[in-house]
Amino acid sequence: MTNSFGTPPDQSIIQGDEKMLALFSHLSLFLGGIILPIIFWATNKDKSKFVTFHALQALWFHIAYIAIIIIWVFAFIFIAVVGGLGLGAFSSATGNKEMPLFFIIAMVGFYATLFAILFGAIGYSIYMGIKSYQGKFVKYPFIGKKVYAKVYGSAA
C-alpha cells in the first residue's frame, strides 16, 4: 500500500545516496548496460528496498529491451531474405535491375521502428530515473508489480 506521495509507508524517508543509485540504475540503459543494475541490486539487496526495487525493475527492463531489439532485427532479416529471394527471382525473370520499391519501403520502416524503439526506451528510462530520484515508486508496465511484490512482499 502506498501513501499519497507514491512511497511505501515503511520507507517514507529515503536517503540521497539511495535516490542516486536508483537514478543510475535506470539511466544505465545507455550509461553502463545491464551490469550496473546487477551491481546495485547485489550490493543493496539487504540494505535498501528502494534501491533493490528500482535496480530489479531496471534490470528486467534492460533484458526486455535487449530481447525486443534482437527479435526485431532477426524478424527483419528473415523478412528481407525471404522477400529478397522472391523479388530477386521476379526481377531476374523480368530483366529489371533496379532495387524493388518494397525493399526500400521495408528498410525505411525497419529503421524508423528501430529508432522509435531505441529512443523510446532511452526516454522512458530517463523518465523513470527522474521519478526514482524524486523518491517515487513508479513502476514499469508488466514488470513493476511483480518486482514490487518480490521486494516488498505485497502487490501495490
pLDDT tens-place string over residues 77-135: 887 777 666 655 556 555 666 666 777 787 888 889 999 999 999 999 999 999 989 88
- Segments forming the whole domain that contains residue 27: 9-152
Q: At what angle do helices 49-94 and 144-152 cross, to 10 degrees?
A: 150
Position 69 in a domain: yes
The reported pTM is 0.77
CB atoms within 10 A of CB 151: 21
- Asked if residue 59 lies in contact with residue 144, where contact means CB atoms within 8 angstroms, the answer is no
Position 87 in a domain: yes
Supply φ then ψ for residue 46, to 5 degrees: -100, -5
Position 1 in a domain: no
Q: State the pLDDT at residue 4.
A: 37
CB atoms within 10 A of CB 36: 21
Q: Which three cell numbers stand for residue 50?
A: 528502494
Position 2 in a domain: no
Tally of structural domains, the chain: 1
Nearest to 83 by CA among 110, 56, 50, 121: 110
Q: State the pLDDT at residue 87.
A: 59
If you search the block for the grid coordinates 526481377, which residue do you land on?
91
